[in-house]
Structure 1
Amino acid sequence: MTVHTVPAVSHLSTQSIDPADRVDYWEEYNRKALVGLTCSPYSEQGLLATQTNVPLGGLRLADIAGNEHVIERTPGTCRALPKDSVFATLLVTGQAVFFHGAGCLTLRAGDLVLYDTRRSYLFGFPCTMRQLLVDIPGEVFTERCAAGGVFAPMVFGRDSAAEGVLVSSLRSVLTDWAAGGGAGDPVSTEATVLDLVRSLAAPRLGERVAPLARPSQLAVAKDYADRQLSDPRLCAEHVAEAVGVSTRHLSRIFAPSGVSPSRYILEQRLVKAREQLADPQALHLTIADIAHRWGFASQAHFTRVFRDRFEQTPGEARPAPVRTRPPHRS
């Protein structure tokens, strides 16, 4: 069988493929783009799945979604189609079970599982799912994440609040990269991804954990702030505490972005509020409701800073209500 080179950014959907050919098509694509595996769908519709592969520096990011199915990398497949990588797979939606040589792991949305592609595994999805998968070459992982590699699969995201912050930050970085189709700075984004993976994996593997690099600290700080925008108490001090640094050091972390932590929080609140004001589905909400939703202490303060930022009032940012015509009378 001829294996063709996969382009830098590639996409596949089984929707337009004859149902009888979907599994073969999916397996062949994965052999070329990601890893050799076998697939078994469990829906009467057959396999309905999409996959987009995007380069990320020396890594590769796969955005995969589908209905109920199981994928398996058997010992025979590992020998026939060898691949030396560590996969960091973040389950964005759905549930999953992960069988491996030493047992079974259960995953829920928001969990990250780390595993070695040289060892066999079975990944089962009992419902509609989406995952973001980072393909980290084995030599890159041992050099920049954990020298000892991954002996057994590990799940992250539940053990501690600090771990949850790191997983959430990784999700934010990967989601942005996938949404942009790989547009951005691949060198710094790759470094941030590897730094976050190292900070998660090294403690579990008994290795020394170096402090997060400044770009990774910025990613963690922004992600934490973005998730807390509705809390009116959110401030630079709270963000610094979440990242584990002083407020002064937090300012240094934000310096390359050109804004202070406080300005970043305000800017994100204003952007989110403007999006909601412009949404026709939100016309039932008052301006005060939206101001409160995005953490503003008062409508007056919200109106003032909104006008300063966008040169219009919150009311002017709203779409005109749709007027229904009265029935025609003959």
Structure 2
Amino acid sequence: MIAGTHAVPGGAKPDRLISFDTRDVAVDDRIDYWEERCAERVVGLHCTSMSESGLEARFEYCDFGSIKMIDITGNQHVIERSPLLLRRFEKDSVFMTFLRKGSAFVNRAQSCTVVGEGDVVIYDTNKPYMHGFPAQMRHVIYEIPGAHFRERFPRWELNEAVRFDALLNTTRIVSRALREVVETDLRLLETPAQRQLHEERLWTVLETAHALSNGKARSAYHTAVRERVRQYIEANLHDPELCPSGISREMGMSLRQLNRLFEGDANTLTSMIQTRRLQRCHADLARPSHYPKSISETAFNWGFRNLSHFSRRFRAEFGVSPSAFAEMARR
């Protein structure tokens, strides 16, 4: 029996918000209970605890759509995802974690990463790892589907756990941005549109983390300006006039300076704008009950001027025409 299932306003599925707590079961059953519930909701893992009171851990789960959030509070414990568990419980996801309280370590690829309060760590679930907490802790995990992650970051190989230190000038921008997302009151995310916006905020944090870890951001200032540009693009995708020259004027810099900010990225700014528009159209067409607009209205709403051009680009991006995709979503 799962404890603490919440009713969710706005027509969301009843299991969008779920929680369970090991203190609801006998001490001797807590480890088995935790492993079973985690295997159901997150990943198959093995858990141990040296606490005399047994494992005392609470798990809160929220489904935003494609990205899931897991908020875990507990006492001392260690979890392990071994090669055997990788085969038994297959999972193709990337975890972006934020340590809200305590300290931790991540043992991965023959290296151990020590994590402090406020740090962000990104790793995938396809390779063995061990994650430990020596004392009272609280951390938040955002689970990103592996296919979606690779689509956005095709050359970002997570061979080791990637840590972003909350205290370093060059990396704390990631910690600050993710903290703002983590501290959002989930009760305010009542509608699909609000939850989609929440997901986009997470993708923006990942974009910043990607820029830092791949050397595309040369300083904290450079990272902050890139972030401002991305936020401006997201806020103005509806505008068909959105283009690099207009963005440079809005940012108070030359077009050359703007392009240098994103030098080395896989896509140009123009391609980035088009890709984000296509992704927004795809998301709207995938939920016709919430966005009951025609294909042309959807395309024009997200800044496309030419329906034929939109259809060609949509098919090239997603392998199916907008009309065929919308028909599949209505079934």
Is 1:195 the counterpart of 2:204 in the alignment?
A: yes
Deviations 1:62-114 (A, max 9, x none): 01010000000001101111101110011100001111123101011111111
Task: Name 1:180's counterpart in structure 2.
Answer: 187
Q: 3-state DSSP class of the match of 2:179?
A: helix
CA RMSD of aligned residues (A): 3.1
TM-score after normalising by structure 2? 0.60
How far apart are the structure 2 equivalents of 1:147 and 1:139? 13
Map of 1:127 onto structure 2: 135
The aligned residue for residue 16 of structure 2 is 8
Counterpart secondary structure, 1:114? strand
- In 2, Cα distance between equivalents of 1:30 and 1:199: 29
TM-score (norm 1): 0.60
- C-alpha displacement of 1:143: 1.8
In structure 2, relative to structure 1, the CA distance for the partners of 1:76 and 1:44 (3 Å cut) is: same
Matched, 1:165 2:173: yes
Contact kept, 8 Å, 2:109 with 2:159, in 1: the verdict is no
For 2:136 and 2:17, the matched residues in 1 are separated by 24
User: What is the DSSP-based 3-state SS (H/G/I as helix, E as strand, rest coil) of the residue aligned with 1:20?
Assistant: helix
Structure 1: state its 5+ residue gaps: 220-244, 251-330
Q: Deviations over 1:34-63 (max 9, x none)?
A: 111010012100000001100123100001
Matches for 1:107-126 after TM superposition, within 5 Å = 107-126=115-134
Per-residue CA shift, 1:161-182, capped at 9, x if unaligned?
24212311211112215x4374
Letter in 1 for 2:212: P
Find 2:88's aligned residue among 64, 80, 89: 80
1:156 pairs with 2:164: yes
In structure 1, how many angstroms separate the alpha carbons of the residues matched to 2:216 and 2:92? 21
Q: Quickly say closer, same or farther: Cα 1:49–1:216, change in 2 above 3 A.
A: farther
1:29 alignment counterpart:
37
Q: Distance in 1 between the 2:14 and 2:190 partners?
A: 18
Instruction: Provide closer, same or farther for how the CA distance between residues 22 and 98 of structure 1 changes in structure 2, counting only shifts above 3 A.
Output: same
Q: Structure 1 vs Structure 2: percent identity of aligned residues?
A: 30
Give the aligned partner of residue 226 of structure 2: 211
> Residues 215, 101 of structure 1: CA spacing in aligned structure 2 closer, same or farther, 3 A cutoff?
closer
Equivalent pair of 2:96/2:142 in contact (CA under 8 Å): yes
- How far has the Cα of 1:249 moved from its partner? 4.8
Structure whose CA Rg is larger: 1
Structure 2: state its 5+ residue gaps. 1-12, 218-222, 235-246, 253-331
- 2:311 matched residue in structure 1: none
CA contact (8 A) 2:171 2:212 kept: no
Q: 1:132-179: per-residue Cα shift (whole Å, max 9, x none)?
A: 1000111111122453341211110257424212311211112215x4
Count of equivalent residues? 220
Q: Would the alpha carbon gap of residues 164 and 52 (structure 1) be closer, same or farther in structure 2, given more than 3 Å must change?
A: same
